[in-house]
Structures are given as C-alpha cells and as structure tokens.
Structure 1
C-alpha cells in the first residue's frame, strides 16, 4: 500500500474511533458520528482526505451488506401479520411523500425526474434510530410503534425498485420509457432466475458447506454468495445492492439465516461506517452556507412537512390523534437509505449538485434532531393533541375500575410468557393480581380469555397508582429491561418504599444496580439456569436432596455470589454487547517484587475500582472467602471479578502499585 494511502486509512480510522466513542457516550447513533468524520476530514473542510473513485466503490460495499441484511429480515409471515401497517400505512407514506415533493419541485421549476428522486430520498427514515429508540422505550408493540415499524419495513422494501428506477431517470425523455421498461423486464428476469432456480440450489449447497464444519469456509461461502449475486445483477445492468438483497432473501428461507447474520455483521458494520464517511466527505460547507435558506427549507420539509404528512395519513387511516402525532414525530427525519439514493441520483446527474448539497445538510440535521424528537414526543403529544388527556384518563379509568376492589394484590409488570406463568401460579394460590402490558394484541386475547390484564405503561406513576400501588402486597417486573425496571423502581421508591419488588434480569450484570434502586430480590435467568443444572447434576451423582436444597438456598442468599462472573473465552466474543461489557473473572499471579506482596486486601482498596476479590489460591489451596485482613504472598493467584477496564486497573495496582 502506498504511504499516502496508509496515511489516509490511519486518519479515517483514528477520527472514526474518536468521534464514534464520543457519540456512543452521548447515546447518539454512531452513523451520525461517521457522517461527522467524513465532513471533518473530507476535501471541503480540513482537506486531509481527497475524494476518489476507489474509495466510493469500496464504500458501496457497505450498502451491499446493508441490503443483504434487509434481505435476511425479509419475512413473509411477518409481512402478512403486519400487512395493514406495511402495505397500507407504509405504502401510502412513501407514495404520498414522493408525489408531494415531485409536485413541489415542478412548481419551483425543476424536472419531474429530479422531483421524483428527491421525493424518494426524503421519504426514507432511519431504521437504525427507530429500532434502537423504540426498543429502549418498550414501544415496539404500542399502536404507534407498530405503525412506525410498518412504515420502516415498507421503506426498506421500496429501496429495491427505487435503486432500479433512479438510474433510468437519467436517460433523455424519448428514451426514458424504454429505459424504465427495460429495467423492469431485467429485474423481473433476474428475480425469477435467482429466486425460483436459486431457491432449489441454495439450501443443498449450504448443507454441503456446513457439513465440512469449518467456520472459515462457511464465512467465505457467505461472502461468495453476496458478492457473486451482486456481480450478476450489476452485469445485468441493475445494481450491486439488488443482488445482495436477493442473496439475503434466498438465505432467509434456510436454517442458516441467524448464523449468516452473525458472521456477516463485522463486515457490514465496518463497510457501512466507511460508506457514511464518504457521504460526509461530499458535504461542501461553502455551498451549504451560500444556500443556507435551502438547507433550512430541507430541514423544515423533513421535520415539519413530512411529520405533518405522516401524522395526517395515520389519522386518515383510523389512528387516534395521539398515536398519529407520535408516529409523525418519529418518522420526521431522513434515513440511511436516503443517503444511498441521494448518492445514486447525484452520480447519474438526476439531482443538481447545489440541490444535492442542501439536501445532504438538511438530512444530517434532521437525523441529529431525531433522537430528541422521539425522546420528547410524549410531552409534545400531550401539549398538542387535544384528545390525548381524555384518552389517558380513559386508560387510567379502565385500570382503576379493574383494581377497585383489589386489596393485598400483586402487580405484574409485563404479561409475556414469564408474566403469564407467574399469573397461573398466583391463581392456583387464589392470590389476586393485576397485569400491565403494552402489547394490544396480547391484551385483547388474554382479556377475552378472562385474564386480569390491562393496557398500561408500568414506568408511569399514574398508571401504577391506578393499578392500586398503595394497596398492593408485592410487585413483580417480569421483563428483562434494566432501564425500564429502574424507572418503575424509582416510582415505587417515591410512592411505596415498603413495597417488595421482584425483578427479572437476563444475567448478573445489573443485579447490584437493581438492588441499590430498591429491588427486594433480583432473579437472573442465567444464574437460575446454573442453579438448576447444578442441582440436577448433584442429585445424579448421589448427593442427598436436603444438601442440594441447602446449596441452592445458600447461593440465593448470597445473591448468586458463587456464580458471579465467568472466565472469558473466544466463544464469548459474539454473545457480549460491546456497549455493555459483562463482569468477568480474571486470575492474577502475584509475582516476585509485586506491589501487593505482604499487604492486606483492605489496604489495596480494589473496591474503589469496582473490583471484587472472589478467591485466593495459595500453594494449590483455594480459599473461597478471603477477608479484608488477608495478606497477599508471593505466588498467590488472586481471582478478581469486574468489567474489563476495571480488571486491567486492578491488575496494575496489584503488580505495580
């Protein structure tokens, strides 16, 4: 690699790492960080990196892997169950946005082709932002959440024909109809050949590759599938992205879908990040400042006009005013596929360069505003939706009516499988309960069967009060979402600090946080699974039942201390989230001359680093409960529990002081 190319790569990597770390700490989408990196290092700002055809072509593979992922998620049963939201609301949102922008562009003197392309760009919203924020707010199954996800699904599907249509729009008027017709014929032929013939071959071929039991061969085969089909569609005069989408659709019908998705994620994330860096490099600040009115107009068109249009369509299709306004606020921004289509339109000169700069700047601004709009949507809805207070009052009234006569009952937060199993146990003991859930379909079916469940967000104070918080005997949070559980515990701590609350969590990462927030008990799925495995194993090898029960009781009384943390292996790389590392165990050998030799544990103050000493192995003997007065000796093996960063600091303190 030439020195200048290496320098460019290092500049981009260093800037990307620094900016994306900052964006993650601010809880902002990383893709916005990549855009900012491109803006900063690009030819129009600091000028550290110049535009090149090679860089743009490499970045296009980011789009290829993104389209492949969309193809993997192409799920016909899911589309059928959400057909109203996807093909009703979603389709109307995309078509109405394109038509209105096209009419507005023509009124301003632009061609209808340019208006169509701009409308296609602006009708997109960010699936990454929406999915992350709705999941964090537990709103995926709320009425507005289903509409938002339905619209996002249709937008993803609409990208495929738009990728075919936009290049055809660059043809002269007399050739345009023929170009569009030819593109449709080519796309139909390619779809038929790949989906009909390829479907028969794909499963057999993947069976053959999987039988070799080689992870390297499997990943190579996935890359061959993606890039091979992308190559075929490009040769057919279509796009690389269409071939990747079809590859995803083919693999989604096989049992290897989830393994493929996991294997391909690193390639997708890196190349997609590079794609957004190249998009940011396109932004020319001089042109943006010269056309700041148009940048503001684009931002207003997205956040204001698009949000209003989406809300109006949602209302026309029967949504309540509050649901319609929440949907409009959530979809009122640009999306990652909008950048893909904008770059395509610019490459084929369908959109003027100055207009492209204004669009690019307005889209970036709208995506920066999106998290704040979604975060504060509840407050905005209550202020501007006249009937929202009445709807909330009716919701609270329904909850209060159902719990009016309840006394000494249990409040179940979340009525999924765990909540329903708990409810059955309580019913057998004739213990009254009221369950709160946010999934309308689940509530409708459970209520029809006579279950005591109502629609309500357990993280809201007024909902818990209506559910009889003041009269309840206990509360159980049955879903494994720490952020929401902490909000519920905060309300309970203010209103009923004496109420015992049982919280479910996935692993041991948040046990201490939830305990400090007021949880009486925290049940960890992984820890309870370990207890059950251990108890059955002990009984199988002949340990008496009373001793097994004592071991289980001791482990629970010590809050799973025996199982806290684990020694990390290569197989744990995929399972752990990089945003939230799990506590793990780490062994440190106290060598000759180490700072800790001869010093008691309390003097080392490892607790300041959030690190716990779980055991000390001395001369082959392992002590399970070291005390603060235990002095370390040369040759001791100290077993530490903590996060990776804390463990590194603790090891340095033990060895170097």
Structure 2
C-alpha cells in the first residue's frame, strides 16, 4: 500500500511537470522511477518485481492496438510489417555488430547483443505517436508496422540467445516451455494460437453478449481483463510473448460490436500499468556504472543511438517515407526496446554475454528511452517544418474559379461538394503526407504553403472568384486572409474559424463568410438529442435556429470585448442567461399552441 502511494505521488508530481516542459509523459515516469529507486531515495528496494508486474501495461497496450486493427487491415499491412520491419531490424543489427567486435566479444555475443539493441520500444514510440496524432498518418503506420515486427521477432530472438549459449558449450537456461521439446513445442504454440482464434470467434462473442445484458456493469470490465490476461498467460505458458497473444486477441475482437466497450474498460488499467512500467525501468537503471565506467556508458549511449538513427533513416525510403517524416520516425525508433532487457538477461544466463557487459547494455538501453522525447523536442524546435524541404508543386491550372487552401477533413468536404457541382477547385496543402495520401485516392492536390504570395500568384489567385480558407491553424488563417485582402481585394473569402473568438477576428476583418468548424455539426447533434428526448422535429429545428441566430448576433455584438477576457466572460454569462430564459418562455408559449405543431418529420 505504501509503495502504491509513493508511485502515484511521484507520478502526479513529475509527469505533469515533464508534460508542461514539453518533455513528454514517458520521461516524467522514468524520472519518478529514478527518484524512487536504489539510486535515488531508495524508497523501493525491489524494482525487478515491480517491472514484472508492470509489463502487463505493455500487454494491455498491445491489446488496445489490436482492437483498432481488423484482420483485413492487418493482412493488408503484411508487406510493411514483414518487409519494412525486417529491413529495419537487419540494418540496425549490421551497423551495431562491429561495435561488439571492437569490444572484443565473440561473434555470438556481438550478434545477440546487436539484435537486442536493434529493437525499438513499442511502449515509448506508440504513446509518442498517439500524443502527436500521427498514428493514422503514413509515419504512424510505417512505424507501427516495424514495431509490430520487432514484437513478433522477440520470441525467436529469445530462443536464439539460448541456442548461441549451447554453441559455446555452456548450459542453457530453462525456458518457460522447457517441458515441450523438439517438434512438440512449435506444435503447442500453433495450437495455442489456433485456440485463441477459435475462442475469440465462437466463445468470446456469446459470453460478451450475455454479460453485456446483465445490469452489473463491472462484470464486463472483469471479463475484459480476464480475457486479455488469460490469453497472455496461455501464450507465455507455451513459450510465446504475452504481448503477442494480447495483440492477436485484440485483432480478433476488432470487428465485434463490443470493441469500444472493451477499449474503454481496458484503457484506465493500461495507462496506469504502462506508467508503472516506465517507473520500474527508471528504478532499475544501474546508474552507479556512471561512476565505474563513465566513458563506456556515455560513448556507448551516443554511438548506439546514432547508429540506430542512421539505420532506420537509411531504410525508410525503401518503405516510401521521405522528407521530415523520415527523420522524425528515425528519432521515434532510435531508442532500445523493452524486450532488450529480457533478451540480454537470457543471453547472460546462457553465458553468451558476460554479466558486466550485459549490465552495461541494459543501462544503455534504459538511458536511451528518455533520450527519445528529448531528441523529439529538439527536432520540433530546430528542424525545418514538415515538408519545408520539399519544393512546391507546379500548378497547372492558373485560372481557377475557386482556390481551396487546406485539404484536411474540413477542406475535403468543401472540395467534394464543389466537384459534385461540376466545379474543379485548385487545392493547396502544406502537409506532404496529406498531399500524397489524397493523390492515392484520386484527388488533385498541390503541395505548397498557401500563405506565400508567390505561390498564390502562381496558382492564379488573381483570376479566381472565391478563396476557401480551410486551414486548421488560426494564426495561418489570419495571415492568409490579410495577404488576400491586401493584394487581391476583389476576392470573396470563405474562411474556417476555430472558435467564436476567432470568428470575431475574421468578421472584424470583413471576411465574406465565416464558419466555425464544428458549429453546424454540433447544432445538428443538439437537434437530434432534443428529438430523442421527445421533442417533435418542428420544435427541435426551431430551437436550433433560435440558437444559431442568438450565437451569430452575440459574435457580432461581442467583438469589442474579445480583447478583455473579464468583460467577454461577463457578456457570455449574461447572454446565456437571457437566451435560456427566452427559450423557456418560448417553450411554455408553444405548449399552449396547437395550430403549427403538426410538422413532425425531419427536415434539413
């Protein structure tokens, strides 16, 4: 109990501090572990036990990742997983092996040590990709495919460590599946995987349906945990990775109607245990080696990190990833993964690696983890912006009727509506991944920065009638509007506003039409909610129309107050109270009217 309080207290202090300093939550957890561990205040004496328990966080994370991947999508990723993943692991291993020979190791030690250090951390890279909303983009897809291959490859690497020990004439450690020898071991592993597939398809679905129908909500949470941990334990019992088993279970349940419920129930446990995993890694760092071998530790950390960065960077063009995304993903995969700890321990037990060398590599692996968020922070600050090293495309049509700046979710809807009306807008976007992805789907999108006057002129903005500004960054929207009004005042501008205050700024700039990005969709959802609660379609639409008029008039009236936060807050409160009172009066008045309430069908 006392240790749990210490973990929570340290995490609640250091993680928000690290996030506030833009260092990432992972570094905060690692620092908490260092302070709690033997090197810090020594408040926790057995970090190895904590690490074993906290590895369930990685297991739950892989299960949640599997829930997002249906079998068809996973099959479509097979070339990226086994092609790109194998290339990345092989390139990094080849670059690292000479380092082992330089240390005077045997070829067995150099091989297994290089393979272990070539692995990257799923627990580090995936949360960083998710924090930056990169998982759905090519950089996230390529990175996850490589990480998935490494998670799968960790199992044969453990067997390889024991096999290399036998080639040296040393006794091999007893593996979890020592009872299964010869052909029986692989047969049991295949049987376990087949059993998980059958269970997921024909047993888990009916059980979840039964439990979901019960009024006891926590039973579903209990079943979700039992499912993940049970599959993980089964895989471990036959000598496979717990994480691999959890991932397979997640993939099998990805197409079930209970996917979102499972994800919501697992996420809190995943987050806590994953944080505990990083705390345990921090506690396990043998920082005393800094005193005994400081040159080896620092030099090894720098050389291994650089070689991994180079190895990943060289491979990425082969999987069709270029530009700044290439460098960013190299940094994301530049650390050493959590499976390296297990492989190095197995290699030490098999006497492939001497104990002091295994301890040195383990420390370097642990230290490489906090290096990743630091390098990413430096990349964000000093590297050139996304796609800035890519030359702007040559725009073929220099006489467009409409020029559309930005091709995200907002811009895509505008473009498709125009195309449906027989109008072909000239579309410009500054995100290289977005441009490449749109072209694969058949859209003609040009790469370039629409805020640059030279590019606008080349795109034929002088001949356009309307410019639609669909960029999601408010500062860039304002800059583009100012440029357009200053140099091409004849244009009508339709601009996307991020919120009410941004809408005030654009209206003050006399933009032809300003649309808050989520306003209409939220209003439609409000109408649907009212109808679901028993309001007829006429009254629901009338209330939504009243709110639209109220909101638009408020935005116009409150422009002068947008620079005074206290005044703006007071205006919002007063206006909201007035609107709510007026709506209540209207509802009361309508309840006594019967002549105009027969319109109950939904209309746009």
Q: What TM bracket, shorter-length normalisation?
A: 0.7 to 0.9
Q: 3-state SS of the aligned residue for 1:332?
A: helix
> How many angstroms does 1:473 deviate by?
4.8
Alignment partner of 1:77: what SS? Answer: helix
Distance 2:325 2:270 in 1: 31
Give a deviation string over 1:570-610, Cα, whole Å, max 9, x none: xxxxxxxxxxxxxxxxxxxxxxxxxxxxxxxxxxx955878
CA distance in 2, matches of 1:355, 1:550: 66
Note the C-alpha offset of 1:220: 0.9
Residue 378 of structure 1 is matched in structure 2 by 384
The CA deviation string for residues 591-641 of structure 1, in whole angstroms up to 9 with x for no partner, is: xxxxxxxxxxxxxx95587894247989xx97469xxxxxxxxxxxxxxxx
Given that 2:84 and 2:145 are in contact with CA atoms closer than 8 Å, whether structure 1 keeps it comes out as no
1:458-486 per-position Cα deviation (integer Å, ceiling 9, x unaligned): 5777655644556655443557xx5x354
**Residue of 500, 512, 516 corresponding to 1:511:** 500
Q: Residue in 2 aligned with 1:66?
A: 61
Residue 516 (structure 2) aligned to one of 513, 522, 525: 522
SS in 2 for 1:21: helix
Confirm or deny that 1:166 pairs with 2:158.
Answer: yes
**Secondary structure in 2 matching 1:435:** strand
Question: Which of residues 115, 126, 129 is equivalent to 1:128?
Answer: 126
Q: Is the 8 A contact 2:85 2:149 kept in 1?
A: no
Separation (CA, whole Å) in 1 of partners of 2:571 and 2:227: 46
What does residue range 579-590 of structure 1 map to in structure 2 within 5 Å? none
Contact map agreement 2:428 2:450 (CA 8 A) in 1: yes
Distance, in Å, in 2 between the alignment partners of 1:38 and 1:77 is: 40
Q: 1:283 aligns with which of 264, 282, 285?
A: 285
Secondary structure of the equivalent of 1:436? strand
Provide the residue aligned with 1:217 in structure 2: 219
Which residue of the partner structure matches residue 234 of structure 1?
236
Structural mapping, 1:430-441, within 5 Å: 433-437=425-429, 438-441=434-437
- Give the secondary-structure state (helix, strand or coil) at the position aligned to 2:288: helix
1:98 is the counterpart of 2:93:
yes
The alignment's TM-score, normalised by the length of structure 2, stands at: 0.75
Equivalent residue for 2:269, pick from 267, 280, 284:
267
Q: Evaluate the alpha carbon distance shift between residue 242 and residue 326 of structure 1 in structure 2; reply closer, same or farther with a 3 A threshold.
A: closer
Q: Deviations over 1:76-133 (max 9, x none)?
A: 3334444554333333112322343245424533343564354334331543355246
Provide closer, same or farther for how the CA distance between residues 441 and 429 of structure 1 changes in structure 2, counting only shifts above 3 A: closer
Q: 1:610 to 1:181 in 2, by over 3 A?
A: farther
> Corresponding residue for 1:116?
112
Q: 1:597 is matched with which residue?
A: none
Taking a change above 3 Å as real, the CA distance of residues 77 and 304 of structure 1, as seen in their structure-2 partners, is same
**TM-score of the pair, normalised by structure 1:** 0.70
Query: Which residue of structure 2 aligns with residue 244 of structure 1?
Result: 246
From 19, 29, 32, the equivalent of 1:34 is 29
Aligned 1:290-309 pairs, distance under 5 A:
290-309=292-311
Q: CA deviation at 1:195?
A: 2.0
Residue in 2 aligned with 1:446?
442
3-state DSSP class of the match of 1:476?
strand
Q: Distance in 1 between matches of 2:567 and 2:342?
A: 52
**Equivalent runs, 1:306-385 vs 2, <5 Å:** 306-315=308-317, 317=318, 319=320, 323=322, 326-334=325-333, 338-343=337-342, 345-346=344-345, 349=348, 352-373=358-379, 376-378=382-384
Q: Distance in 2 between matches of 1:17 and 1:45?
A: 18
Taking the aligned partners of 1:20 and 1:81, their CA distance within structure 2 comes to 37
The answer (yes or no) to whether the contact 1:229–1:247 under 8 Å persists in 2 is yes
Asked whether the 8 Å contact 1:63–1:241 carries over to 2, the reply is yes
Q: Indicate the SS of the match to 1:446.
A: coil
Separation in 2, partners of 1:442, 1:227: 40
Per the alignment, in what secondary structure is the counterpart of residue 278 of structure 1?
helix
Deviation at 1:255, TM superposition (A): 2.4
Report the counterpart of residue 143 of structure 2 in structure 1: 151
SS in 1 for 2:348: coil
What number of residue pairs does the alignment pair up?
A: 540
RMSD: 4.2
Distance 1:203 1:607, change over 3 A: same
Q: 1:221 Cα deviation (Å)?
A: 0.7
Q: Which residue of 1 aligns with 2:588?
A: none
| 1:12 paired residue number | 7
Per-residue CA distance 1:223-277 (angstroms, 9 max, x = gap): 1111222222233344433433333233224222222112110000001001100
Instruction: Name the residue aligned to 1:409.
Output: 402
Cα distance between partner residues in 2 of 1:435 and 1:535: 38
Are the aligned partners of 1:72 and 1:251 in contact in 2 as well (CA < 8 Å)? yes
More relative contact order in 1 or in 2 (CA 8 Å, sep 6+)?
Answer: 2
Residue in structure 2 matched with residue 56 of structure 1 by the alignment: 51
Equivalent residue, structure 1, for 2:495: 502
CA distance in 1, matches of 2:577, 2:545: 25
| Inter-CA distance 89–551: structure 2 relative to 1 (3 Å threshold) | same
Aligned to 1:199: 201
Structure 1 regions of 5+ residues with no counterpart? 383-387, 562-604, 626-657
1:488–1:74 CA distance, 2 compared to 1 (3 A): same
| Match runs of 1:473-488 below 5 Å | 473-478=465-470, 482=472, 484-488=473-477
Partners of 1:74 and 1:249 within 8 A in 2: yes
1:500 is paired with a residue whose SS is: strand
CA contact (8 A) 2:474 2:502 kept: no
Query: Per-residue displacement from partner, 1:333-369 (whole Å, max 9, x unpaired)?
Result: 5578802432553376366112211332234224421
Q: Which deviates further from its counterpart, 47-56 or 267-276? A: 47-56
CA, structure 1 residues 151+527, in 2 after alignment: closer, same or farther (shift >3 Å)? Answer: closer
Bigger drift between 339-348 and 360-369 goes to: 339-348
Distance 1:337 1:310, change over 3 A: closer
CA–CA distance in 1 between the matches of 2:294 and 2:456? 48
Aligned to 2:414: 422
Q: 2:152, 2:540 → 1: CA distance?
A: 64
CA separation in 2, counterparts of 1:560 and 1:128? 41
Following superposition, the deviation at residue 392 of structure 1 comes to: 0.3
Aligned pair in 2 of structure 1 residues 286, 237: CA closer, same or farther (>3 Å)? Answer: same
Rounded to whole Å, the distance in 2 between the matches of 1:32 and 1:488 is: 34
The verdict on how the C-alpha distance between 1:314 and 1:157 changes in structure 2, with shifts beyond 3 A counting, is closer
Shift of 1:29: 2.1
Q: 1:221 to 1:319 in 2, by over 3 A?
A: closer
